[in-house]
Amino acid sequence: MNNLRTYLTMLFVLMAFTLSSCELVGDIFKAGMWTALVVIVIIILLVVWIFRKFRG
């Protein structure tokens, strides 16, 4: 049991130093922001195109 506890502690310390979760979360939010911005622009352009189509 003591050997397992040492192994898990070393694994946790290794993961804490090698995985930069804050950077990963930041990149995900940046990608989400740009994706949302592109989708919003496409929807606005689509609404304007439909509106112009009906007006003639």
Instruction: Provide the residue-wise pLDDT of the chain in tens; the chain has 56 residues.
Output: 567 778 778 877 777 777 666 776 777 788 888 888 888 999 999 999 999 998 87
The pLDDT value recorded for residue 52 is: 93
The pLDDT value recorded for residue 1 is: 59
The pLDDT value recorded for residue 42 is: 94
Residue whose pair of structure tokens reads 């496409």 in the numeric block:
42
The pLDDT value recorded for residue 19 is: 65
Q: In terms of C-beta density within 10 A (0-12 exposed, 13-18 middle, 19 or more buried), how is residue 27 classed?
A: exposed
Of 25, 7, 26, nearest to 15 by C-alpha is: 7
Q: Which structural domain, as residue segments, surrounds residue 19?
A: 2-55
The pLDDT value recorded for residue 27 is: 75
Number of domains in the chain: 1
